[in-house]
Amino acid sequence: MEAARKADDASQGTTRAGDEKPTYAAMYSYLPEHIRIPEGTPLVPSMPVTSNEGTVGHIHWSEEMANHVLETEFGSVEEGKRYLRDISKDADVLGGYPDPKDPSVRRIPIPGQLYSMRLWTGHQERSRTVCWNIVSNDSGEPMRKPKNLEMYTVDPTGSIDHRCFSMEAAQDFDKPELLRSETWCYPDGTVIEFVVGRKSALRVRLPVRPHDGNPCSERYREHKILKIKEYLEDDGEE
């Protein structure tokens, strides 16, 4: 597809002579302010990211690429854009970084380490999930997971259950070492244990939004730091 070729060239900074420089798809302008890309913005070179041994390339959609798909799927570009605008109004934003204006952002130090957990719940109301990064204590900037750190979910008996994988790790990127940071995303109320050098360092129950189902809560419940050996029955409203 010629439109995809042009977008790939622009992403690598190799736009061919005679090619009009592609712009980001208009759908990116429908996103929340902190990740919004204004309509008509030219595609800029970015770090090439591939997965599955180079068989999959990860690039932004150009306006030309998106318009081809919208016309095929909806019969017209205008109808497709109308649909995208509608679903984007309440769409969740999973991964990446928190909205700078998000009041739910919390930074939780990991004892004895030079980094912390930074979690947030903003723009995740539909999925009822919580995202977090690992951030440097000095700079506050997000970073990749240190090699001696692992994170696990914890079951209701207090036993370690499953290893937590970041959204980036799940993509099976060919060169993960090029990534600047990682983001984890798990359901409300999940208990996460941080293990450093095979020693448990921190156990955190993620925040819980008001909900009639499981986990049940009449109001927003902040994260809670738990004792490492604590039995994890729901202790009710705090």
pLDDT of residue 230: 53
**Closest residue by Cα to residue 210 from 201, 222, 200, 202:** 222
Indicate whether 236 belongs to any domain: no
Q: Could you tell me if 205 and 130 are in contact, meaning their C-beta atoms sit under 8 angstroms apart?
A: no
> For the chain, how many structural domains are there in total?
2
Shared-domain flag, residues 54 and 117: no
Q: What is the pLDDT along the chain (238 residues), one digit of tens a residue?
A: 799 899 888 998 999 999 999 999 999 999 999 999 999 999 999 877 888 888 888 889 999 999 999 999 999 999 999 999 999 998 999 999 999 999 999 999 999 999 999 999 999 999 999 999 999 999 999 999 999 999 999 998 888 889 999 999 998 888 888 889 999 999 999 999 999 998 999 999 999 999 887 777 889 999 999 998 654 444 444 4
Shared-domain flag, residues 21 and 59: yes
Shared-domain flag, residues 172 and 213: yes
Shared-domain flag, residues 31 and 73: yes
Shared-domain flag, residues 119 and 205: yes
92's tokens: 């969740």
pLDDT of residue 69: 97
Indicate whether 13 belongs to any domain: yes
Indicate whether 73 belongs to any domain: yes
The DSSP call for residue 201 is E
Shared-domain flag, residues 119 and 72: no
Shared-domain flag, residues 138 and 217: yes
- Given 24, 53, 88, which residue is the final one in a domain? 88
Shared-domain flag, residues 220 and 121: yes
Q: For residue range 51-72, what is the model confidence (pLDDT) as tens digits?
A: 888 888 888 999 999 999 999 9
pLDDT of residue 157: 82
Shared-domain flag, residues 43 and 124: no
Shared-domain flag, residues 191 and 114: yes
- Helix orientation angle between 63-74 and 77-88, rounded to the nearest 10 degrees: 100
pLDDT of residue 191: 97
- Given 57, 88, 119, which residue is the final one in a domain? 88
Indicate whether 238 belongs to any domain: no
Domain that holds residue 42: 2-88
Shared-domain flag, residues 154 and 113: yes
Shared-domain flag, residues 129 and 178: yes
pTM, two decimal places: 0.88
Helix, strand, coil percent values for the chain (each to nearest 5):
20, 25, 50
Indicate whether 7 belongs to any domain: yes
Indicate whether 231 belongs to any domain: no
